[in-house]
Structures are given as structure tokens and as C-alpha cells.
């Protein structure tokens, strides 16, 4: 099983916050704690842990976890009505 160094994980969390935290590129208003929780939930899946690179794909998947776990969405984004 792949080990992720503390330094790599911390850098990834900071990157996610710069995207999804308050004032971020895709501001969802996510807190550091929410991002850490979503990332840990994501990495519990062995397949995710094994392929983790801390890249755009990983960041995008954490975004999905933020949406699912905390009901977050991009600030100002319109919610699509159900069909």
C-alpha cells in the first residue's frame, strides 16, 4: 500500500483550500477541517490511495466529496433544479 508523506499531504490540503476555501479559485466556502475530512474519506478507498498523486484529478474528486459530505457548492453557482 502506498504511503503519502506528511509534506505531500499538507501541500495537497493547502492546494485544495486555495481552490475551495473562502476566496478560493472555485470558492465553496470550505473550511480546512472540511477539506481534511473529505480528503481522508477519499483516501480510505484503497484504489484512490494507490493512485493518489495530489493532482487535478485528486482535487476534483475531493470537491465531489465536499459537495456530497457537506452540501457545499461554488459560491454564486446556480443549483440545477431536479428533473
Q: What pLDDT shows up at residue 82? A: 46
pTM (2 d.p.): 0.87
Which DSSP string corresponds to 6-57? HHHHHHHHHHHHHHHBTTSTT---B-HHHHHHHHHHHHTSHHHHHH--SSHH
| Segment 47-68, tens digit of pLDDT | 999 999 999 999 999 999 999 9
Three cell numbers, residue 75:
459560491
Domain residues of the chain, as ranges? Answer: 6-70
Mean per-residue pLDDT over the chain, rounded: 91
> Which residue(s) pair with 21 in the sheet?
30
37 by Cβ neighbours in 10 Å (0-12 / 13-18 / 19+) ranks as middle
Q: What pLDDT shows up at residue 1? A: 59
> Which residue(s) pair with 30 in the sheet?
21
Amino acid at each position: 500500500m502506498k504511503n503519502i508523506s506528511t509534506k505531500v499531504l499538507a501541500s495537497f490540503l493547502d492546494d485544495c483550500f486555495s481552490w475551495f476555501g473562502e476566496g478560493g479559485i472555485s470558492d465553496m466556502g470550505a473550511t480546512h477541517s472540511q477539506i481534511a475530512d473529505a480528503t481522508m474519506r477519499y483516501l480510505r478507498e484503497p484504489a484512490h490511495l494507490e493512485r493518489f498523486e495530489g493532482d487535478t484529478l485528486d482535487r476534483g474528486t475531493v470537491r465531489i466529496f465536499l459537495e456530497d459530505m457537506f452540501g457545499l457548492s461554488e459560491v454564486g453557482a446556480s443549483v440545477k433544479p431536479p428533473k
